[in-house]
Protein backbone atom coordinates (compact mmCIF):
# COMPACT_ATOMS: atom_id res chain seq x y z
CA UNK A 1 0.00 0.00 0.00
CA UNK A 2 1.13 3.52 -0.52
CA UNK A 3 -0.25 6.85 0.57
CA UNK A 4 1.09 8.82 -2.36
CA UNK A 5 -2.34 10.00 -3.41
CA UNK A 6 -3.67 11.12 -0.08
CA UNK A 7 -3.40 14.64 1.15
CA UNK A 8 -2.43 15.15 4.77
CA UNK A 9 -3.91 18.11 6.56
CA UNK A 10 -1.22 19.97 8.45
CA UNK A 11 -3.64 21.46 10.91
CA UNK A 12 -7.33 21.52 11.57
CA UNK A 13 -7.98 25.22 11.56
CA UNK A 14 -10.86 26.47 9.48
CA UNK A 15 -9.90 27.74 6.07
CA UNK A 16 -9.77 31.44 5.47
CA UNK A 17 -11.96 31.20 2.39
CA UNK A 18 -15.00 29.16 3.36
CA UNK A 19 -16.74 27.33 0.51
CA UNK A 20 -19.81 26.90 2.66
CA UNK A 21 -20.38 30.62 2.50
CA UNK A 22 -20.16 30.44 -1.26
CA UNK A 23 -22.79 27.76 -1.60
CA UNK A 24 -26.10 29.17 -2.71
CA UNK A 25 -29.24 27.79 -1.14
CA UNK A 26 -31.26 25.51 -3.32
CA UNK A 27 -34.76 26.59 -4.10
CA UNK A 28 -37.55 24.08 -4.36
CA UNK A 29 -41.04 25.03 -5.32
CA UNK A 30 -44.37 23.39 -5.59
CA UNK A 31 -47.29 24.09 -7.85
CA UNK A 32 -50.85 22.99 -7.65
CA UNK A 33 -52.03 19.72 -9.13
CA UNK A 34 -53.05 19.44 -12.74
CA UNK A 35 -54.49 16.64 -14.79
CA UNK A 36 -54.04 15.72 -18.40
CA UNK A 37 -56.83 15.34 -20.88
CA UNK A 38 -58.36 12.17 -22.11
CA UNK A 39 -57.48 9.82 -19.27
CA UNK A 40 -58.70 8.92 -15.83
CA UNK A 41 -56.22 10.72 -13.64
CA UNK A 42 -56.27 10.92 -9.89
CA UNK A 43 -53.91 13.00 -7.83
CA UNK A 44 -53.00 12.32 -4.24
CA UNK A 45 -50.89 14.51 -1.98
CA UNK A 46 -49.34 12.49 0.79
CA UNK A 47 -46.87 15.19 1.76
CA UNK A 48 -49.56 17.25 3.45
CA UNK A 49 -49.62 14.95 6.43
CA UNK A 50 -45.89 15.19 7.11
CA UNK A 51 -44.38 17.02 10.03
CA UNK A 52 -42.99 20.38 9.17
CA UNK A 53 -39.95 22.03 10.61
CA UNK A 54 -39.69 25.33 12.37
CA UNK A 55 -36.98 27.90 12.85
CA UNK A 56 -34.25 26.55 10.61
CA UNK A 57 -31.62 28.25 8.53
CA UNK A 58 -30.48 27.46 5.01
CA UNK A 59 -27.91 24.87 5.99
CA UNK A 60 -30.33 23.07 8.29
CA UNK A 61 -32.93 23.12 5.51
CA UNK A 62 -30.41 21.46 3.25
CA UNK A 63 -30.02 18.73 5.83
CA UNK A 64 -33.72 18.11 6.07
CA UNK A 65 -34.63 17.21 2.57
CA UNK A 66 -34.85 13.80 1.00
CA UNK A 67 -31.15 13.52 0.25
CA UNK A 68 -29.62 12.42 3.50
CA UNK A 69 -26.02 13.57 3.43
CA UNK A 70 -25.11 16.22 0.89
CA UNK A 71 -25.40 13.77 -1.97
CA UNK A 72 -26.26 14.12 -5.60
CA UNK A 73 -29.89 13.27 -6.00
CA UNK A 74 -31.10 10.15 -7.64
CA UNK A 75 -33.01 10.85 -10.77
CA UNK A 76 -36.00 8.58 -11.35
CA UNK A 77 -37.02 4.95 -11.51
CA UNK A 78 -39.32 3.42 -14.12
CA UNK A 79 -41.20 0.14 -14.18
CA UNK A 80 -43.49 -1.65 -16.65
CA UNK A 81 -45.50 -4.87 -16.54
CA UNK A 82 -47.17 -6.60 -19.48
CA UNK A 83 -49.51 -9.57 -19.23
CA UNK A 84 -50.32 -9.98 -15.55
CA UNK A 85 -53.82 -10.01 -14.02
CA UNK A 86 -52.67 -7.67 -11.24
CA UNK A 87 -50.27 -5.51 -13.22
CA UNK A 88 -50.71 -2.41 -11.05
CA UNK A 89 -49.78 -4.29 -7.87
CA UNK A 90 -46.73 -5.80 -9.58
CA UNK A 91 -45.72 -2.33 -10.68
CA UNK A 92 -46.20 -1.06 -7.14
CA UNK A 93 -43.82 -3.71 -5.80
CA UNK A 94 -41.30 -2.86 -8.46
CA UNK A 95 -41.51 0.84 -7.62
CA UNK A 96 -41.14 -0.03 -3.97
CA UNK A 97 -37.76 -1.60 -4.77
CA UNK A 98 -36.85 1.45 -6.85
CA UNK A 99 -37.80 3.99 -4.19
CA UNK A 100 -34.15 4.99 -3.70
CA UNK A 101 -34.22 6.49 -7.22
CA UNK A 102 -36.72 9.19 -6.30
CA UNK A 103 -38.81 10.01 -3.27
CA UNK A 104 -40.69 13.09 -4.33
CA UNK A 105 -43.60 11.67 -6.31
CA UNK A 106 -44.77 8.39 -7.75
CA UNK A 107 -47.42 7.23 -10.17
CA UNK A 108 -48.88 4.17 -11.85
CA UNK A 109 -50.91 3.99 -15.07
CA UNK A 110 -52.79 0.76 -15.81
CA UNK A 111 -54.52 -0.38 -19.00
CA UNK A 112 -57.27 -2.97 -19.33
CA UNK A 113 -57.41 -3.03 -23.13
CA UNK A 114 -60.00 -0.28 -23.31
CA UNK A 115 -59.09 2.42 -20.85
CA UNK A 116 -55.98 3.79 -19.22
CA UNK A 117 -56.24 4.92 -15.62
CA UNK A 118 -53.45 6.71 -13.83
CA UNK A 119 -52.95 7.72 -10.24
CA UNK A 120 -50.11 9.94 -9.14
CA UNK A 121 -49.18 11.55 -5.89
CA UNK A 122 -46.55 13.41 -3.95
CA UNK A 123 -44.69 11.27 -1.47
CA UNK A 124 -43.35 7.76 -1.17
CA UNK A 125 -44.75 4.81 -3.10
CA UNK A 126 -46.06 3.21 0.09
CA UNK A 127 -47.78 6.43 1.12
CA UNK A 128 -49.58 6.90 -2.18
CA UNK A 129 -50.63 3.36 -3.08
CA UNK A 130 -52.84 1.62 -0.55
CA UNK A 131 -54.94 -1.45 -1.36
CA UNK A 132 -57.91 0.81 -2.07
CA UNK A 133 -55.88 2.94 -4.47
CA UNK A 134 -54.46 -0.07 -6.30
CA UNK A 135 -57.99 -1.44 -6.69
CA UNK A 136 -58.74 1.58 -8.88
CA UNK A 137 -56.06 0.51 -11.37
CA UNK A 138 -57.47 -2.51 -13.23
CA UNK A 139 -55.79 -4.19 -16.16
CA UNK A 140 -53.07 -6.56 -17.28
CA UNK A 141 -50.61 -3.82 -18.23
CA UNK A 142 -49.14 -1.04 -16.16
CA UNK A 143 -46.25 1.38 -16.10
CA UNK A 144 -44.93 3.24 -13.08
CA UNK A 145 -42.57 5.97 -12.09
CA UNK A 146 -40.90 7.23 -8.96
CA UNK A 147 -39.41 10.63 -9.25
CA UNK A 148 -37.13 13.22 -7.95
CA UNK A 149 -37.54 16.23 -10.18
CA UNK A 150 -34.62 17.03 -12.47
CA UNK A 151 -36.19 19.38 -15.00
CA UNK A 152 -39.42 21.28 -14.79
CA UNK A 153 -40.51 22.34 -11.36
CA UNK A 154 -40.79 19.75 -8.67
CA UNK A 155 -44.56 19.70 -8.56
CA UNK A 156 -47.36 17.25 -8.85
CA UNK A 157 -47.91 18.84 -12.23
CA UNK A 158 -44.88 16.96 -13.48
CA UNK A 159 -45.43 13.69 -11.65
CA UNK A 160 -45.41 10.72 -14.00
CA UNK A 161 -46.60 8.69 -15.86
CA UNK A 162 -47.87 11.41 -18.16
CA UNK A 163 -50.96 10.22 -20.07
CA UNK A 164 -52.06 12.00 -23.23
CA UNK A 165 -54.84 11.31 -25.72
CA UNK A 166 -53.30 12.17 -29.07
CA UNK A 167 -53.97 11.75 -32.76
CA UNK A 168 -52.01 8.50 -32.44
CA UNK A 169 -54.21 7.24 -29.62
CA UNK A 170 -53.76 7.23 -25.91
CA UNK A 171 -50.16 7.13 -24.69
CA UNK A 172 -48.82 6.98 -21.15
CA UNK A 173 -45.11 7.54 -20.63
CA UNK A 174 -42.60 7.42 -17.77
CA UNK A 175 -39.07 8.69 -18.24
CA UNK A 176 -35.76 8.42 -16.40
CA UNK A 177 -33.13 10.93 -17.55
CA UNK A 178 -32.94 14.41 -19.00
CA UNK A 179 -33.23 15.56 -22.59
CA UNK A 180 -30.71 18.20 -23.64
CA UNK A 181 -32.00 19.72 -26.86
CA UNK A 182 -35.34 20.90 -25.64
CA UNK A 183 -35.28 24.42 -26.99
CA UNK A 184 -35.41 23.70 -30.71
CA UNK A 185 -37.83 20.79 -30.44
CA UNK A 186 -40.22 22.65 -28.19
CA UNK A 187 -40.29 25.78 -30.34
CA UNK A 188 -40.89 23.74 -33.47
CA UNK A 189 -43.69 21.79 -31.82
CA UNK A 190 -45.35 24.95 -30.53
CA UNK A 191 -45.19 26.44 -34.02
CA UNK A 192 -46.98 23.28 -35.17
CA UNK A 193 -49.74 23.87 -32.61
CA UNK A 194 -48.57 21.74 -29.67
CA UNK A 195 -49.90 22.86 -26.29
CA UNK A 196 -47.73 21.68 -23.42
CA UNK A 197 -49.50 20.69 -20.22
CA UNK A 198 -46.42 20.25 -18.07
CA UNK A 199 -42.96 21.78 -17.80
CA UNK A 200 -41.35 18.35 -17.90
CA UNK A 201 -39.02 17.42 -20.75
CA UNK A 202 -40.81 14.08 -20.98
CA UNK A 203 -43.83 15.67 -22.62
CA UNK A 204 -41.63 16.62 -25.58
CA UNK A 205 -41.43 12.95 -26.52
CA UNK A 206 -45.22 12.54 -26.39
CA UNK A 207 -45.73 15.69 -28.47
CA UNK A 208 -43.17 14.53 -31.03
CA UNK A 209 -45.05 11.23 -31.32
CA UNK A 210 -48.35 13.07 -31.73
CA UNK A 211 -46.89 15.31 -34.46
CA UNK A 212 -44.97 12.60 -36.30
CA UNK A 213 -46.01 12.02 -39.90
CA UNK A 214 -45.12 8.32 -39.86
CA UNK A 215 -47.84 5.78 -40.57
CA UNK A 216 -47.72 3.40 -37.62
CA UNK A 217 -47.46 4.12 -33.93
CA UNK A 218 -44.22 2.22 -33.56
CA UNK A 219 -42.73 4.22 -36.44
CA UNK A 220 -43.95 7.45 -34.83
CA UNK A 221 -42.29 6.49 -31.54
CA UNK A 222 -39.02 5.59 -33.27
CA UNK A 223 -39.21 8.82 -35.26
CA UNK A 224 -39.71 10.92 -32.13
CA UNK A 225 -36.94 9.20 -30.17
CA UNK A 226 -34.52 9.76 -33.02
CA UNK A 227 -35.11 13.53 -32.73
CA UNK A 228 -34.21 14.01 -29.08
CA UNK A 229 -30.79 14.07 -27.51
CA UNK A 230 -29.72 13.38 -23.97
CA UNK A 231 -30.58 10.71 -21.45
CA UNK A 232 -33.77 8.71 -21.59
CA UNK A 233 -34.73 5.30 -20.38
CA UNK A 234 -38.47 5.25 -20.95
CA UNK A 235 -41.43 2.96 -20.67
CA UNK A 236 -44.61 3.72 -22.63
CA UNK A 237 -48.03 2.17 -22.76
CA UNK A 238 -51.00 2.35 -25.10
CA UNK A 239 -54.32 0.60 -24.49
CA UNK A 240 -52.79 -2.71 -25.57
CA UNK A 241 -49.02 -2.44 -25.91
CA UNK A 242 -45.95 -1.69 -23.80
CA UNK A 243 -42.81 -0.03 -25.18
CA UNK A 244 -39.37 0.35 -23.59
CA UNK A 245 -36.45 2.33 -25.00
CA UNK A 246 -33.01 3.64 -24.07
CA UNK A 247 -31.20 6.60 -25.57
CA UNK A 248 -28.37 5.83 -28.01
CA UNK A 249 -25.68 6.64 -25.42
CA UNK A 250 -27.31 4.35 -22.85
CA UNK A 251 -26.90 6.86 -20.01
CA UNK A 252 -29.46 5.28 -17.68
CA UNK A 253 -30.02 1.57 -17.06
CA UNK A 254 -33.15 -0.29 -18.19
CA UNK A 255 -33.53 -4.06 -18.00
CA UNK A 256 -36.07 -6.59 -19.17
CA UNK A 257 -37.25 -9.59 -17.19
CA UNK A 258 -39.77 -12.36 -17.50
CA UNK A 259 -42.09 -14.21 -15.14
CA UNK A 260 -42.92 -17.68 -16.42
CA UNK A 261 -46.67 -18.19 -16.75
CA UNK A 262 -48.11 -21.01 -14.68
CA UNK A 263 -50.70 -23.56 -15.79
CA UNK A 264 -50.32 -22.72 -19.46
CA UNK A 265 -50.74 -18.97 -18.90
CA UNK A 266 -48.53 -16.77 -21.07
CA UNK A 267 -45.38 -15.28 -19.60
CA UNK A 268 -45.39 -11.83 -18.01
CA UNK A 269 -42.80 -9.33 -19.25
CA UNK A 270 -41.37 -6.68 -16.96
CA UNK A 271 -39.03 -3.73 -17.44
CA UNK A 272 -37.28 -1.84 -14.65
CA UNK A 273 -34.56 0.73 -14.10
CA UNK A 274 -32.74 -1.76 -11.90
CA UNK A 275 -32.91 -5.50 -11.58
CA UNK A 276 -33.51 -5.30 -7.82
CA UNK A 277 -37.12 -4.59 -8.83
CA UNK A 278 -37.36 -8.03 -10.46
CA UNK A 279 -36.50 -9.96 -7.32
CA UNK A 280 -39.69 -9.04 -5.44
CA UNK A 281 -41.72 -10.14 -8.46
CA UNK A 282 -39.81 -13.43 -8.91
CA UNK A 283 -38.98 -12.21 -12.39
CA UNK A 284 -35.93 -13.56 -14.13
CA UNK A 285 -33.53 -11.08 -15.67
CA UNK A 286 -33.48 -11.55 -19.44
CA UNK A 287 -31.30 -8.76 -20.77
CA UNK A 288 -30.72 -5.02 -20.85
CA UNK A 289 -32.63 -2.86 -23.30
CA UNK A 290 -29.77 -1.86 -25.58
CA UNK A 291 -28.77 1.77 -26.20
CA UNK A 292 -30.76 3.01 -29.19
CA UNK A 293 -33.22 0.09 -29.00
CA UNK A 294 -37.01 0.25 -28.92
CA UNK A 295 -38.66 -2.90 -27.54
CA UNK A 296 -42.39 -3.52 -28.01
CA UNK A 297 -44.50 -6.11 -26.17
CA UNK A 298 -47.96 -6.91 -27.51
CA UNK A 299 -50.22 -9.93 -27.96
CA UNK A 300 -47.85 -10.91 -30.79
CA UNK A 301 -44.94 -11.22 -28.37
CA UNK A 302 -41.74 -9.21 -28.02
CA UNK A 303 -40.28 -7.33 -30.98
CA UNK A 304 -37.32 -5.00 -31.17
CA UNK A 305 -35.95 -2.38 -33.52
CA UNK A 306 -33.29 0.29 -33.49
CA UNK A 307 -34.45 3.90 -33.61
CA UNK A 308 -31.08 5.62 -33.55
CA UNK A 309 -30.13 6.80 -37.00
CA UNK A 310 -26.45 6.39 -36.41
CA UNK A 311 -24.16 4.64 -34.00
CA UNK A 312 -23.04 6.90 -31.16
CA UNK A 313 -20.39 6.13 -28.55
CA UNK A 314 -21.79 4.55 -25.38
CA UNK A 315 -21.84 6.74 -22.27
CA UNK A 316 -23.42 4.83 -19.41
CA UNK A 317 -23.47 6.81 -16.17
CA UNK A 318 -20.62 5.60 -14.01
CA UNK A 319 -22.15 7.28 -10.98
CA UNK A 320 -24.88 4.62 -11.08
CA UNK A 321 -22.17 2.18 -10.01
CA UNK A 322 -20.67 4.62 -7.49
CA UNK A 323 -23.82 5.65 -5.69
CA UNK A 324 -27.27 5.60 -7.32
CA UNK A 325 -27.98 1.98 -8.01
CA UNK A 326 -28.49 -0.61 -5.30
CA UNK A 327 -25.65 -3.09 -4.77
CA UNK A 328 -28.10 -5.94 -5.38
CA UNK A 329 -28.82 -4.67 -8.90
CA UNK A 330 -27.15 -5.68 -12.10
CA UNK A 331 -26.82 -2.66 -14.39
CA UNK A 332 -24.96 -2.16 -17.66
CA UNK A 333 -24.34 -5.92 -17.63
CA UNK A 334 -22.53 -5.89 -14.29
CA UNK A 335 -23.32 -6.25 -10.58
CA UNK A 336 -23.13 -2.97 -8.70
CA UNK A 337 -21.82 -4.74 -5.60
CA UNK A 338 -18.87 -6.07 -7.59
CA UNK A 339 -17.97 -2.61 -8.92
CA UNK A 340 -18.37 -0.90 -5.58
CA UNK A 341 -16.27 -3.42 -3.68
CA UNK A 342 -13.55 -3.13 -6.28
CA UNK A 343 -13.63 0.67 -5.90
CA UNK A 344 -12.85 0.17 -2.22
CA UNK A 345 -10.03 -2.26 -2.98
CA UNK A 346 -8.55 0.08 -5.57
CA UNK A 347 -8.85 3.02 -3.20
CA UNK A 348 -6.85 1.06 -0.61
CA UNK A 349 -4.18 0.29 -3.21
CA UNK A 350 -3.98 3.91 -4.33
CA UNK A 351 -4.15 5.72 -1.01
CA UNK A 352 -3.58 3.41 1.91
CA UNK A 353 -2.84 4.89 5.31
CA UNK A 354 -1.89 3.39 8.65
CA UNK A 355 -5.05 3.08 10.74
CA UNK A 356 -6.94 0.86 13.18
CA UNK A 357 -10.44 0.82 11.73
CA UNK A 358 -12.29 1.20 8.42
CA UNK A 359 -15.69 2.82 8.93
CA UNK A 360 -18.26 3.42 6.14
CA UNK A 361 -20.49 6.45 5.96
CA UNK A 362 -23.73 4.49 5.76
CA UNK A 363 -25.40 3.28 3.73
CA UNK A 364 -23.81 3.98 0.38
CA UNK A 365 -20.22 3.79 1.64
CA UNK A 366 -20.61 0.29 3.08
CA UNK A 367 -19.69 -1.87 0.08
CA UNK A 368 -16.63 0.21 -0.85
CA UNK A 369 -15.53 0.15 2.80
CA UNK A 370 -15.75 -3.65 2.82
CA UNK A 371 -13.48 -3.70 -0.24
CA UNK A 372 -11.07 -1.23 1.34
CA UNK A 373 -10.86 -3.28 4.54
CA UNK A 374 -10.36 -6.55 2.65
CA UNK A 375 -7.55 -5.11 0.57
CA UNK A 376 -5.81 -3.22 3.36
CA UNK A 377 -6.23 -5.84 6.09
CA UNK A 378 -7.54 -3.14 8.44
CA UNK A 379 -10.63 -4.24 10.40
CA UNK A 380 -14.03 -3.04 9.18
CA UNK A 381 -16.74 -2.00 11.59
CA UNK A 382 -19.93 0.03 11.65
CA UNK A 383 -18.67 2.98 13.64
CA UNK A 384 -21.52 5.17 12.43
CA UNK A 385 -25.12 4.09 12.78
CA UNK A 386 -27.75 5.53 10.52
CA UNK A 387 -31.27 6.14 11.77
CA UNK A 388 -33.44 4.75 8.98
CA UNK A 389 -36.60 6.18 10.42
CA UNK A 390 -35.80 9.86 9.99
CA UNK A 391 -38.29 11.23 7.49
CA UNK A 392 -37.70 13.99 5.05
CA UNK A 393 -38.43 16.59 7.66
CA UNK A 394 -38.32 16.62 11.40
CA UNK A 395 -39.08 19.10 14.12
CA UNK A 396 -36.00 21.02 15.15
CA UNK A 397 -35.23 21.79 18.78
CA UNK A 398 -36.10 25.29 19.86
CA UNK A 399 -32.46 25.95 20.70
CA UNK A 400 -30.71 24.67 17.64
CA UNK A 401 -27.58 22.71 18.46
CA UNK A 402 -24.51 22.35 16.30
CA UNK A 403 -24.80 19.83 13.45
CA UNK A 404 -28.21 18.74 14.72
CA UNK A 405 -29.47 17.60 11.32
CA UNK A 406 -26.61 15.21 10.64
CA UNK A 407 -26.68 13.89 14.20
CA UNK A 408 -30.37 13.05 13.83
CA UNK A 409 -29.44 10.76 10.97
CA UNK A 410 -26.02 9.44 12.02
CA UNK A 411 -24.68 8.54 15.42
CA UNK A 412 -21.14 7.42 16.23
CA UNK A 413 -20.42 4.22 18.15
CA UNK A 414 -18.08 5.57 20.79
CA UNK A 415 -16.99 2.12 22.01
CA UNK A 416 -15.61 1.38 18.53
CA UNK A 417 -14.09 4.76 17.72
CA UNK A 418 -12.48 5.82 20.99
CA UNK A 419 -8.68 5.91 20.76
CA UNK A 420 -8.70 4.65 17.16
CA UNK A 421 -7.14 5.92 13.95
CA UNK A 422 -10.18 5.81 11.67
CA UNK A 423 -10.49 5.63 7.89
CA UNK A 424 -13.90 6.96 6.84
CA UNK A 425 -15.15 5.72 3.46
CA UNK A 426 -17.73 7.75 1.56
CA UNK A 427 -18.76 7.86 -2.09
CA UNK A 428 -18.63 11.59 -2.77
CA UNK A 429 -18.10 15.06 -1.39
CA UNK A 430 -20.43 17.52 -3.06
CA UNK A 431 -20.46 20.75 -1.04
CA UNK A 432 -18.34 19.47 1.83
CA UNK A 433 -20.60 20.66 4.60
CA UNK A 434 -21.82 17.24 5.66
CA UNK A 435 -18.40 15.61 5.40
CA UNK A 436 -17.06 18.17 7.82
CA UNK A 437 -19.84 17.42 10.29
CA UNK A 438 -19.21 13.69 10.07
CA UNK A 439 -15.46 14.11 10.60
CA UNK A 440 -16.15 16.28 13.63
CA UNK A 441 -18.62 13.72 14.96
CA UNK A 442 -16.13 10.85 14.66
CA UNK A 443 -13.39 12.91 16.29
CA UNK A 444 -15.71 13.97 19.10
CA UNK A 445 -16.43 10.27 19.72
CA UNK A 446 -12.77 9.77 20.59
CA UNK A 447 -11.05 8.94 17.29
CA UNK A 448 -7.43 10.03 17.42
CA UNK A 449 -7.13 10.43 13.64
CA UNK A 450 -9.78 10.68 10.91
CA UNK A 451 -8.72 9.92 7.33
CA UNK A 452 -11.35 10.45 4.64
CA UNK A 453 -11.32 8.27 1.53
CA UNK A 454 -13.75 8.82 -1.37
CA UNK A 455 -14.60 6.00 -3.77
CA UNK A 456 -14.67 8.18 -6.89
CA UNK A 457 -12.72 11.17 -8.26
CA UNK A 458 -13.54 14.76 -7.23
CA UNK A 459 -16.91 15.93 -8.61
CA UNK A 460 -16.00 19.01 -10.62
CA UNK A 461 -18.83 19.45 -13.14
CA UNK A 462 -22.62 19.28 -13.03
CA UNK A 463 -24.63 16.55 -14.70
CA UNK A 464 -27.10 17.27 -17.52
CA UNK A 465 -28.34 13.73 -17.91
CA UNK A 466 -30.86 13.21 -15.17
CA UNK A 467 -28.96 13.87 -11.97
CA UNK A 468 -29.68 16.93 -9.92
CA UNK A 469 -26.25 18.44 -9.33
CA UNK A 470 -25.40 21.80 -7.83
CA UNK A 471 -23.97 24.25 -10.34
CA UNK A 472 -20.21 24.36 -10.68
CA UNK A 473 -19.80 27.26 -8.30
CA UNK A 474 -21.31 25.12 -5.51
CA UNK A 475 -19.24 21.99 -6.10
CA UNK A 476 -16.41 22.21 -3.61
CA UNK A 477 -14.00 20.20 -5.77
CA UNK A 478 -14.59 22.50 -8.75
CA UNK A 479 -13.27 25.43 -6.80
CA UNK A 480 -10.78 24.08 -4.28
CA UNK A 481 -7.83 21.72 -4.29
CA UNK A 482 -7.88 18.38 -2.49
CA UNK A 483 -5.61 19.89 0.18
CA UNK A 484 -8.02 22.78 0.69
CA UNK A 485 -11.00 20.44 0.89
CA UNK A 486 -9.14 18.27 3.40
CA UNK A 487 -8.54 21.29 5.54
CA UNK A 488 -12.13 22.42 5.21
CA UNK A 489 -13.61 19.09 6.27
CA UNK A 490 -11.09 18.98 9.12
CA UNK A 491 -9.75 15.52 8.23
CA UNK A 492 -6.20 14.33 8.91
CA UNK A 493 -5.93 13.24 5.29
CA UNK A 494 -8.16 13.05 2.25
CA UNK A 495 -7.85 11.00 -0.92
CA UNK A 496 -10.15 10.29 -3.86
CA UNK A 497 -10.15 7.27 -6.14
CA UNK A 498 -8.43 8.06 -9.45
CA UNK A 499 -10.45 8.16 -12.67
CA UNK A 500 -8.48 5.23 -14.06
CA UNK A 501 -9.08 3.37 -10.81
CA UNK A 502 -12.82 4.03 -11.06
CA UNK A 503 -13.25 2.92 -14.67
CA UNK A 504 -11.06 -0.09 -13.97
CA UNK A 505 -13.29 -0.98 -11.00
CA UNK A 506 -16.42 -0.81 -13.18
CA UNK A 507 -15.02 -3.05 -15.92
CA UNK A 508 -12.62 -5.39 -14.20
CA UNK A 509 -13.26 -9.08 -14.58
CA UNK A 510 -16.30 -8.93 -16.83
CA UNK A 511 -15.32 -8.73 -20.46
CA UNK A 512 -18.60 -10.47 -21.29
CA UNK A 513 -20.53 -7.35 -20.32
CA UNK A 514 -18.93 -5.56 -23.26
CA UNK A 515 -18.21 -2.53 -21.09
CA UNK A 516 -14.81 -0.87 -21.38
CA UNK A 517 -13.58 2.23 -19.55
CA UNK A 518 -14.60 4.24 -22.62
CA UNK A 519 -18.18 2.93 -22.36
CA UNK A 520 -18.89 5.15 -19.37
CA UNK A 521 -19.87 8.78 -19.00
CA UNK A 522 -17.48 10.38 -16.50
CA UNK A 523 -18.37 14.01 -17.24
CA UNK A 524 -18.94 15.03 -13.64
CA UNK A 525 -15.30 14.10 -12.95
CA UNK A 526 -13.77 15.39 -16.18
CA UNK A 527 -16.07 18.06 -17.65
CA UNK A 528 -15.99 16.14 -20.95
CA UNK A 529 -19.64 15.77 -21.91
CA UNK A 530 -20.75 13.03 -24.31
CA UNK A 531 -23.35 15.29 -25.98
CA UNK A 532 -22.74 18.60 -27.69
CA UNK A 533 -25.19 20.63 -25.70
CA UNK A 534 -24.53 21.84 -22.18
CA UNK A 535 -25.59 24.92 -20.29
CA UNK A 536 -22.45 27.03 -20.46
CA UNK A 537 -23.52 29.21 -17.52
CA UNK A 538 -23.63 26.17 -15.29
CA UNK A 539 -20.19 24.90 -16.12
CA UNK A 540 -18.39 28.18 -15.52
CA UNK A 541 -16.35 27.88 -12.33
CA UNK A 542 -16.69 30.36 -9.55
CA UNK A 543 -13.88 32.85 -9.20
CA UNK A 544 -11.82 31.16 -6.55
CA UNK A 545 -10.98 33.43 -3.69
CA UNK A 546 -13.52 36.06 -4.73
S1 LIG B 1 -22.21 13.55 -15.67
FE2 LIG B 1 -21.79 12.12 -13.95
S3 LIG B 1 -23.77 11.73 -12.99
FE4 LIG B 1 -24.17 12.61 -15.03
S5 LIG B 1 -24.42 10.87 -16.42
FE6 LIG B 1 -22.27 11.47 -16.52
S7 LIG B 1 -21.26 10.20 -14.92
FE8 LIG B 1 -23.46 10.13 -14.52
What is the pLDDT confidence band of residue 26, given thresholds at 50, 70 and 90?
Answer: very low
Cβ proximity of 423 and 344 under 8 Å: no
The full set of domain ranges for the chain reads: 19-32+334-388+401-532, 77-312
pLDDT tens digits, residue range 260-281?
Answer: 998 888 999 999 999 999 999 9
Q: Which residues contact 4 (CB under 8 A, 6 or more apart)?
A: 350, 351
What is the 130 CA–ligand 1 centroid distance (Å)?
Answer: 35
Average pLDDT over residues 414-423: 98
> Residue 76 catalytic?
yes
pLDDT tens digits, residue range 349-405?
Answer: 999 999 999 999 998 899 999 999 999 999 999 999 998 777 655 555 565 566 677
CA pair distance 144, 112, nearest whole angstrom: 15
* pLDDT for res 299: 94
Position 55 pLDDT exceeds 90 = no
Give the H/E segment covering residue 527: none
Q: Do the domains 77-312 and 19-32+334-388+401-532 match in fold?
A: no
Tell me which of 232, 463, 475, 535 to substitute to probe ligand 1's pocket, judged by most ligand atoms within 8 Å of the beta carbon: 463
Write down the catalytic residue from 9, 46, 61, 76: 76
- The residue whose CA has the least distance to atom 2 of ligand 1 is 524
- Please provide the average confidence, as pLDDT, over all residues in the chain: 83
Share of the chain above pLDDT 70, in %: 79
Share of the chain above pLDDT 90, in %: 60
* pLDDT for res 194: 80
* pLDDT for res 539: 43
- The residue whose CA has the least distance to atom 5 of ligand 1 is 317
Residue 532: how many other CB atoms lie within 10 Å: 8
525 CA closest ligand 1 atom index: 2
* pLDDT for res 537: 47
Cβ proximity of 453 and 351 under 8 Å: yes
CA pair distance 265, 84, nearest whole angstrom: 10
Which CATH fold topology does 77-312 show? 3.60.20
- The residue whose CA has the least distance to atom 8 of ligand 1 is 317
* pLDDT for res 150: 55
Position 493 pLDDT exceeds 60 = yes
- Is CATH 3.40.50.2020 the right assignment for the domain spanning 19-32+334-388+401-532? yes
Closest among 78, 74, 75, 76 to 272, alpha carbons compared: 78
* pLDDT for res 365: 93
pTM (two decimals)? 0.85
Amino acid sequence: MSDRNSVPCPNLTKRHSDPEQRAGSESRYFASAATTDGTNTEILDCKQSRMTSVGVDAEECEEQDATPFDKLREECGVMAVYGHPDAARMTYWGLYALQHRGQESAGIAAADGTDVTDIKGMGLVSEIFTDDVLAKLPGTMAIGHTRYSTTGDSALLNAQPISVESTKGLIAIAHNGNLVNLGNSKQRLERDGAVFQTTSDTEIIVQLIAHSRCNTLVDCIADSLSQVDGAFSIVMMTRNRIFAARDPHGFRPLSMGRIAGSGGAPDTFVFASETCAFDLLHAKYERDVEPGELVMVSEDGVTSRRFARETVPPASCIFEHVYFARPDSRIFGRWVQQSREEMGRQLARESGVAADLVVPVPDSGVTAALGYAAESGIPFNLGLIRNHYVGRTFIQPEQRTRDFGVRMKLNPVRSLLEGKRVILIDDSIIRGTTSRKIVRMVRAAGATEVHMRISCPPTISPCFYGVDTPSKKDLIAANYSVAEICKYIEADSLAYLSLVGLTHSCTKGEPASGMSPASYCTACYTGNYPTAWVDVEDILPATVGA
